[in-house]
Amino acid sequence: MSAATVSKDVKTKPVKARKSSLEKGKGQFYAYLIPGLSLFTIVIVGSFFFNIYISFTKWNGLGSPRWIGTKNYENLMVDAVFWESFLHAFMFIAAMSIIPTFLGVFVASMLFDYIAPRFGNGAAAFMRAGFYMPQVIPMTITGVIWVWLLNPVSGVINNFLTALGVSKDVTPNWLGDENLAIWSLSVIMVWIQIGYTIVIFMSGLSRLDPSLTEAAQLDGATWFQRFRIIILAQLGPEIGVVLLTTMVAALKVFAPVYVMTSGGPGTSTQVPAYFSYFHFFTTHKVGYGAAVATVLSLILTVLAIVILQIQNKQQAKENQR
Amino acid sequence: MSTTTAVKAPKIKTSALKPRSFISWVTFAFMLAAVIVWLFPFWMAVANALKTPDDFIQQGPLAWPAHVTFEHIVKFWNDSNFPLKFWNSTWTSLAAAGITVAFGFLTAYAIGIGKIKGKTWILGVFMVAFTIPQEALIYPMYNAAKKLNLYDNLLSIVLIFGISGIAFATYLISSVLNEFPTEVLEAAKIDGANAWRMMIDVVLPILRPTLMVITVMVFIYNWNEFLIPLVLLPSNDNQTVSLGIALTVGQWTAEPTARAAAALLGALPSILFFVIFQRSLMRGVTMGSSK
């Protein structure tokens, strides 16, 4: 194919004509939307709206749902466990979004900008893979591992503490103590999540203009000064997107809670997603569970729209350049 | 920018390493220690999975086994019917990834190459779709699966994973196609190619590496899915690895060493995928964020 010669021909034509040649067959592209969009509409959009409908009914899953208007939502507003579940979700935003983002920026720039230039890319890539490992393994299985590590009697962590001289009577019941369980889960979530932020920020750093940091180095700036002034400023947009996407993940947390605590002890680790599942399949208050899921969706949709706005702004900036 | 550079892994030139001072060795040791702490839980699973129960009681969980034994792993392999679970996870994840990438590509082609009207809206709806929680879809899906005789049938998760992924795949693929070199498309146009020929002869061959990356990523996401299999696949023989280990671990394994063996066996396929597909996975994960 003679792409080069053809594009030369095109160049000689006026810009307008070039545009219209691509524009001409535009109509035929709509056909390519049909398969994907129709499956998506039937399965995803359909389920979503059916769930909203269920949230306005009383239903135990058998027979047919009975319309009760906004009763489920009214009950939710006065349900202490519902509010508690959102409080825990906000704690998970710290554990899965805010802390991993800031640790991630720091570790990523250490690996990219300090370790790699001195110890080679292999060392940096190995460390990155190590931090990323918890992201690769199914959450259910990391959950099983942690339940086992944190077992108050036979678990590794408490054995380690007693080996250090802590008395057996005071070693904590990490997941079984209702004041402690949410904190144990939070630490585990930081452990899971940090690999994701490191990977994203390292790829962000690799796109930065190296002449910027080199110039700073010539000016005699220390690594920390460069980190603060150049890296943080340049990674700004990435940090924003990562904060928001991990926030979405934090609000959706289900599997770790299911496997490690089932929302307990009591309601001390209840989160919205698990609370909704619990009403669907344990209490069979399907309408109520659907209402919880709908409220959660609403919050997440707002977050998604914020992410879209930021990305559009970024796009506009890039196009200006 | 061309499509190929957009999907390339980050690379740093290392022709000349900077001098290493004492402080840089300290920093290196500190980072290495952090990585070791991060991998410690997996290390503990390995050490204890290979231990005899007596060894565990005498030496505690922290020590390396005095006599390495594969007894627990073999027992859990047989008791949980691990090969069947492995097969269930593998074919459903793969088939669903195929559906996702095929339909996602078609939609992305219309958006990224066709630049059809309303593309911003479609992408916006897709973005919202993959942020809504699965809990907001699961009951209708559960209900539909029962009515359509797909309950407790692996086909149900193939369809649901496959179709749920379309929004995400479209989003990623169309962001790559947005940067597809216009000259190449122009050339094909002038050669008289219609939308179909252009897709088959021009876009697909160039995009193949990107599609492979996305397939790998979607496969691993599918493998890790939990809620949907939990709800739709009650019987033992239909369980996937990530579901099966979580549910059966209490059933057969009161012994701490046996529990470690179950966790290790469950984690092993994912660790293998990671080692094999690390580059692809990393590319895929960063592809979504940088756009």
Residue B100: which CATH number? 1.10.3720.10
Dihedral, CA atoms, B228, B231, B233, B235, nearest 10 degrees? 150
Residue B29 included in any domain = no
B187 and A200 within 8 Å at the Cβ level: the answer is no
List of domains in chain A = 80-320 (1.10.3720.10)
Residue B233 has a pLDDT of: 94
pLDDT value, residue B184: 87
Check if B212 contacts A (Cβ < 8 Å): no
- For residues A224 and A92, the model is more confident at A92
Lowest mean pLDDT among A10-19, A151-160, A265-274, B157-166: A10-19
Q: Is the predicted pLDDT of residue B7 greater than 90, yes or no? A: no
**Residue owning tokens 């696949």:** B233
What's the pLDDT score for residue B64? Answer: 86
DSSP H stretches of helix in chain B: 3-6, 22-49, 53-59, 71-79, 82-108, 119-131, 135-147, 154-177, 182-190, 195-197, 204-224, 227-232, 241-252, 256-290
Give the strand pairing for A66-67 and A57-58: antiparallel
Cβ-defined contact of B187 to A115 (cutoff 8 Å): no
CA distance B126 to chain A (A): 9
Using a CB–CB cutoff of 8 Å, tell me whether B276 touches chain A. no
B181 lies in which domain range?
92-240
Closest residue, chain B, to A195 (C-alpha)? B38
Q: Tens digit of pLDDT for each residue in B235-284? A: 889 999 999 888 876 655 567 888 888 889 999 999 999 999 888 888 88
Distance CA A94, CA A247 (A): 9
pLDDT value for A113: 84
At B289 the pLDDT is: 62
Asked whether residue B182 carries a pLDDT value surpassing 90, the answer given is no
In angstroms, rounded to a whole number, what is the distance separating the alpha carbons of residues B150 and B142?
9
pLDDT of B5: 39
Q: Residue B156 falls within a domain, yes or no?
A: yes
Distance from CA of B262 to the nearest CA of A (A): 9
- Position A52 scores a pLDDT of 97
Q: How confident is the model at residue A217 (pLDDT cuts 50, 70, 90)?
A: low
Q: pLDDT by residue (tens digit) across A279-290?
A: 999 999 999 999
% of residues, chain A, pLDDT over 70: 87
* Confidence at residue A9, expressed as pLDDT on a 0 to 100 scale: 42
What value of ipTM does the predicted structure carry? 0.87
Given a cut of 80, is residue A31 above it in pLDDT?
Answer: yes
Residue A179 distance to chain B (closest CA, Å): 24
Q: Looking at residue A6, what is its pLDDT? A: 39
Q: In terms of Cα–Cα distance, which of B238, B280, B256, B277 is closest to B50?
A: B256
Residue A96: predicted pLDDT = 95
Nearest-angstrom CA–CA distance, A26 and A15: 18
**The pLDDT of residue A23:** 54
* Higher local confidence (pLDDT), A230 or B88: B88
CB proximity under 8 Å: A 164-223 to B = 191, 194-196, 199-200, 202-207
Taking the CA of residue B18 and the nearest CA in chain A, the distance in Å comes to: 5
Q: Which residue has the higher pLDDT, A15 or B216?
A: B216
**Chain A residues with beta carbon closer than 8 angstroms to that of B159:** 43
Q: Given an 8 Å threshold on Cβ–Cβ distance, is A112 in contact with B12? A: yes
- Per-residue confidence (pLDDT) for residue A296, from 0 to 100: 96
pLDDT interval class at A312 (50, 70, 90): confident
Report the range out of A112-121, A220-229, B24-33 with the highest average pLDDT.
Answer: B24-33
Confidence (pLDDT) at B95: 97
Asked whether residue B157 is domain-assigned, the answer is yes
Does the distance separating the beta carbons of B44 and A141 come in below 8 Å? no
Assess if residue B109 is contained within a domain.
yes
Mean pLDDT of chain A: 86
Instruction: Give the pLDDT of residue B3.
Output: 37
What is the mean predicted confidence (pLDDT) over A181-202? 94
Beta carbons of A263 and A276 less than 8 angstroms apart: no
Interchain proximity B62–A112, CB inside 8 Å: no
Give the model's pLDDT for residue A17: 43
Q: Write down the pLDDT at residue A38.
A: 95
Inter-axis angle of helices A80-93 and A236-252, nearest 10:
150
Q: What is the pLDDT of residue A307?
A: 81
What's the confidence (pLDDT) of residue B133? 95
Give the nearest partner residue to A28 out of B28, B129, B194, using CB atoms. Answer: B194
* Chain B residues close to A155, C-beta within 8 Å: 61
Which residues on A lie below 8 Å from B55 (Cβ)?
none
pLDDT band at A232, cuts 50/70/90?
confident
Report yes or no on B249 lying in a domain: no
Percentage with pLDDT > 90 across chain A: 57
- C-beta atoms of B136 and A44 within 8 A: no
Least-confidence region, from A12-16, B49-53, B157-161:
A12-16
What is the pLDDT confidence band of residue A10, given thresholds at 50, 70 and 90?
very low
| pLDDT winner (highest mean) among A40-54, A134-148, A216-230 | A40-54
In the predicted structure, residue A18 carries a pLDDT above the cut 60: no
**What is the pLDDT averaged over residues B170-186?**
89
Q: Which residue of A has its CA nearest to B61?
A: A156
The number of folded domains in chain B is 1
- Percent of chain B at pLDDT > 70 equals 91
Cβ proximity of B42 and A133 under 8 Å: yes
Least confident of A57-61, A266-270, A302-306, B170-174: A302-306
Determine, yes or no, domain membership for B110.
yes
Q: Does the structure show a pLDDT above 50 at A4?
A: no
Per the domain annotation, does B174 fall within a domain?
Answer: yes
The residues, ordered by sequence, that sit 6+ positions from B111 with a Cβ below 8 Å of its Cβ are: A33, B119, B122, B123, B170, B174, B177
- Among A72-76, A108-112, A276-280, which stretch is predicted with the lowest mean pLDDT? A108-112
- The yes-or-no verdict on residue A7 having pLDDT over 90 is no
Q: Once rounded to an integer, what is the mean pLDDT over residues A140-158? A: 89
Closest chain A C-alpha to B215 CA, distance in angstroms: 15
Which of B56-65, B67-76, B96-105 is the least confident region? B56-65
B118 touches chain A (CB under 8 A): no
Q: Is residue B149 part of a domain?
A: yes
